[in-house]
Structure 1
Amino acid sequence: MPPAPDAAQREAARSLEVIKRMREAEEAILERAPEHDLEPSLDRIQGVMELLGDPQRTFPVIHLTGTNGKTSTTRIIESLLREMGLKTGRFTSPHLHSMTERIALSGEPISPERFLAAYDEVMPFVEMVDARSLAADGPRMTYFEVLVAVAYAAFADAPVDVAVVEVGMGGSWDATNVADGSVAVVTPIALDHQHFLGHDVESIATEKSGIIKPGALVVSGVQEPEVAQILADRAAAVGARIALEGNDFGLLTREVAVGGQQLAVRGLAGDYAELLLPLHGGHQAHNTVLAIAAVEAFVGGGEQRLDPDVVRAGLGAASSPGRLEVVRRSPTVLVDAAHNPAGALALREALEDSFNFARIIGVIAILQDKDATEMLEVLEPVLEHVVVSRTTSPRAMRPHELGALAAEIFGEDRVTVVADLPDALDVAAGLADEGGLGGGVLATGSVTTAAEVRMLLGVSEV
């Protein structure tokens, strides 16, 4: 008779079972309609939430929308709240390496065990809603909708003191909007996802303003006048209060510092000086201003100054993987998830502001549905040469097509087309090393580009 398994063997068997079940759950979720194939409606996610007992109403929510800066601002807000001793939930998208990154508990990606517990709780109701929708000739729940349901269930089960939730896209019909944020945060709004949100900033702002709920306090980054008016009108219509960067709070001073930047900020309830932020670029300074105002709005209705030492510690612990992140030295390799013209402009300004390379070689891979031409035009002044490639995404623009666009903007002698991203990275590193020290590599064009270069260089922490 074989000996009974010891504790270590039992633990190993349990771990293997968890890995297997996690892989099966991920595959089942990935089989659903992807994030860029949307069915604008809250009916399906509301149906699941109601069957679950509305877990999203068991904790307060800080809800974020906007075009760029959402993930960084979400992460900074959460870091500040954790430093105050609160148990936090964080929901962001898209992910860099694993879908579990999207759901974080107290700053750490959800464990496979907790993910599976929430998934098992949610799926019977997802299948009920799927059946109901299919019977009416409608679609099954999407990839994103299922992840939102899992996140809200996990936050309720934890439980969390507050959830900081980034929309996937838009606002009014985004699946996250089944929750009612007591604080609504709006980062700067620009053109992106026009085929879903509209072809002008007014249409996009109207859709994104849908996260503003009755009685909420809205904090908004700097906006175009017409956008600010749309947000103000929505706030007035639902009885919410609104505070605008540059009017009610703002950035007082900013200096580039070793490893980041030093800031002084005027919040809703007081000033905060000598804040060291370990993130690069003026856009991250403004994300920080917005984050501080959001936390003031949450903990004291915008009328209670935060402990400056807590703010300093919270900012010091903040991170934003894949956002102007140094992932290698010699030569220095930066990755950035910029995927639209506004993001590319923020990236260019940050490079000019915070780095002093003798030359920068770009590794550029962009998705087919993005404005590649304008992104390349924005980045051209700071890139000596571009190595055009593609990621493994089925939505990736073909290298020869992107290369032709780049040649029109940079000139053929400043463009190299390399079909595979690993080879493109090697070519760019070689070009950066030419002429001695001082060259750097920037890999950008999409979240997938940043993620795949991180993985190629052995970086997977988030």
Structure 2
Amino acid sequence: MFSSYSEALEWIHGRLRLGIKPGLTRMKWMMEKLGHPELKMKTVHIGGTNGKGSTVTYLRSILEAAGYSVGTFTSPYIEQFNERISVNGKPISDEEIVELANVIAPLADELEETELGGPTEFEVITAMSFYYFANINQVDIVLYEVGLGGRFDSTNIIQPIASVITNIGLDHTNILGHTYEEIAFEKAGIIKAQIPVFTAVKNQDAIKVIKEQADKKQAPLFILNEDFSITSHTPQETGEMFTLSSANHILEHIEISMIGQHQTENAALAVMAAQSINHHEEFSISEDVIRTGLKRAYWPGRFEILSKSPFVIIDGAHNDEGISALVHELSNRYSNYTIHIVFAALKDKKLDQMISQLDQVADEVSFVSFDFPRAAKATDLFSLSHSKNKRIGEQWDSHLAKCIQNMQPDSILVVTGSLYFISEAKPYLCEFLKNNKISL
């Protein structure tokens, strides 16, 4: 039995040694032992390549504004591990983590002795969340973010009242497949029989696959730019404004506080899901509530401005699509600034394409590494860049400090890459900026 938070966390993270093991058999085994907590809650399932966390946030904020208690299960974390299981945006306590670990650990030990093998870190955390929301803190609704793929993801044993598939890109190709069709098939695995699904997928080959899977499950399907659309998009200084139109509803001049054209798509998905949830008799979500929720929504590490003077932005652009969105916003909003990008990534990503895009927008680019098993070496990132003004930061933290200290009034520092890196860099940057009030 674990008596402290640090012991519980060490055990959970120790499961990383088992790597990624797609499949639902271990989850089903544990749920059977626990009395099927995954079936004792109302849920919404959110998958896709980019935008899952933001979409969860928009929908959570709408539901909160309507007065409901909302659980969320997200990954990875940005500021603290506990946030992966949260209620109304507040991470569960250290004591609750210990309690949950003590429930799941004996099951993990027992499972390890079977032919199925021990559960992975993600499976353990998913099981913890199911037990928590079913037995410890029963909320009105829980939003589950898919960890990887969909079809064989640990979360895919829930029976949601709505499903969402955000945009799809060529990410995790070593596991999910090398084409849009193959990846779409895995993502579409979360579609359940007769349960409405909303998607912002743009690739036509991917859409075809999702349509086929929805037809097989007789699931009503709503597609961005076919069944609902975004018009009159206007970038704002601290967010975006747009109009959302669907077959029987128009919401004009919606405001969101997260920056980026792609965020309008995530917000639109959340609105469509909220309107679907509104059809369930136990929920009542008005247009005013939707507007209020969207405006309040905040998700750390997504084109987040940490400081205006010095101008520091942090963004978890961890794949080709994420980098494209980042480059688009930097080019459109800050072309009159000198842009210095600091980048760290995981070695299993399409690094050449990502770095090529950064080279095009950055006046200066730095490459760093960080302490994570899958982290790419700074030297390897450096070798892929064709920038005329590139460098290696030996220690990411001291390098960031030097970058900030050397900034000019017309410059922006953009810290981006792996979300695992962002989760380390953000707390450091916030503390550094707080303790070093630099005036440019």
* TM bucket, shorter chain: over 0.9
Superposed displacement of residue 121, structure 1? 2.9
- 1:33 to 2:8 alignment: no
Alignment match, 1:326: 305
| Larger mean Cα displacement after TM superposition, 259-268 or 286-295 | 259-268
Contact preservation (8 Å) 2:63, 2:285: no
Alignment match, 2:269: 290
SS in 2 for 1:51: helix
- 1:242 to 2:221 alignment: yes
Contact preservation (8 Å) 1:267, 1:292: no
Contact preservation (8 Å) 2:185, 2:210: yes
Pairing partner for 1:73 from 52, 55, 59? 55
Identical aligned residues as a percent: 30
- 1:450 to 2:384 alignment: no
Contact preservation (8 Å) 2:307, 2:313: yes
Alignment match, 2:128: 150
Contact preservation (8 Å) 2:367, 2:393: yes
Letter in 2 for 1:421: W
Alignment match, 2:104: 122
Structure 1's consecutive aligned runs of 4 or more residues displaced over 6 angstroms after TM superposition are none
Superposed displacement of residue 428, structure 1? 2.7
- Spell out, residue by residue over 1:216-270, the C-alpha distance to the aligned partner (whole angstroms, 9 max, x if none): 1010103211111111111111121101011111212221223112222124641
- 1:23 to 2:1 alignment: no
Letter in 2 for 1:455: P
Contact preservation (8 Å) 1:328, 1:457: no
Superposed displacement of residue 125, structure 1? 2.6
| Larger mean Cα displacement after TM superposition, 373-382 or 120-129 | 120-129
Distance (whole Å) between structure 2 residues aligned to residue 271 and residue 121 of structure 1: 47
Contact preservation (8 Å) 1:209, 1:231: yes
Alignment match, 2:401: 426
Superposed displacement of residue 443, structure 1? 0.7
Alignment match, 2:391: 416
- Spell out, residue by residue over 1:81-127, the C-alpha distance to the aligned partner (whole angstroms, 9 max, x if none): 11111111101111123221111112211122333333333333333
Distance (whole Å) between structure 2 residues aligned to residue 34 and residue 275 of structure 1: 45
What's the TM-score, normalizing by structure 2? 0.93
Superposed displacement of residue 357, structure 1? 4.8
Contact preservation (8 Å) 2:46, 2:56: yes
Alignment match, 1:5: none
Count of residue pairs the alignment pairs up: 430
Letter in 1 for 2:319: N
Instruction: Please give the residue correspondences for 1:187-206 in structure 2 after superposition, counting only pairs within 5 Å.
Output: 187-206=166-185
| Larger mean Cα displacement after TM superposition, 350-359 or 256-265 | 350-359
Alpha-carbon distance change, 185 to 268 in structure 1, aligned in 2, over 3 angstroms: farther
Alignment match, 2:437: none
SS in 2 for 1:171: coil
Cα RMSD over matched residues?
A: 2.2
- Spell out, residue by residue over 1:322-370, the C-alpha distance to the aligned partner (whole angstroms, 9 max, x if none): 1111123322111111111111001111222344551110011111111
Instruction: Please give the residue correspondences for 1:92-111 in structure 2 after superposition, counting only pairs within 5 Å.
Output: 92-111=74-93
Which has more radius of gyration? 1
Distance (whole Å) between structure 1 residues aligned to residue 401 and residue 203 of structure 2: 41
Alignment match, 1:12: none
Contact preservation (8 Å) 1:338, 1:344: yes
- Spell out, residue by residue over 1:394-437, the C-alpha distance to the aligned partner (whole angstroms, 9 max, x if none): 3221122211111xx213xx10112110222134325532xxx2
Alignment match, 2:438: none
**What stretches of structure 2 of length at least 5 have no aligned partner?**
433-440
Instruction: Please give the residue correspondences for 1:21-420 in structure 2 after superposition, counting only pairs within 5 Å.
Output: 21-33=4-16, 37-132=19-114, 136=115, 138-157=116-135, 158-267=137-246, 269-300=248-279, 306-355=285-334, 357-406=336-385, 409-411=386-388, 414-420=389-395
SS in 2 for 1:423: helix
| Larger mean Cα displacement after TM superposition, 203-212 or 378-387 | 378-387
| Larger mean Cα displacement after TM superposition, 325-334 or 304-313 | 304-313
Contact preservation (8 Å) 1:360, 1:432: no
Alpha-carbon distance change, 239 to 39 in structure 1, aligned in 2, over 3 angstroms: same
SS in 1 for 2:355: helix
Contact preservation (8 Å) 1:418, 1:424: yes
Distance (whole Å) between structure 2 residues aligned to residue 125 and residue 395 of structure 1: 28
SS in 1 for 2:192: coil
Letter in 2 for 1:118: L
Superposed displacement of residue 49, structure 1? 0.7
**What stretches of structure 1 of length at least 5 have no aligned partner?**
1-17
Distance (whole Å) between structure 2 residues aligned to residue 72 and residue 29 of structure 1: 25
Superposed displacement of residue 161, structure 1? 1.2
What's the TM-score, normalizing by structure 1? 0.88
Contact preservation (8 Å) 2:150, 2:186: yes
Contact preservation (8 Å) 2:52, 2:145: yes
SS in 1 for 2:113: helix
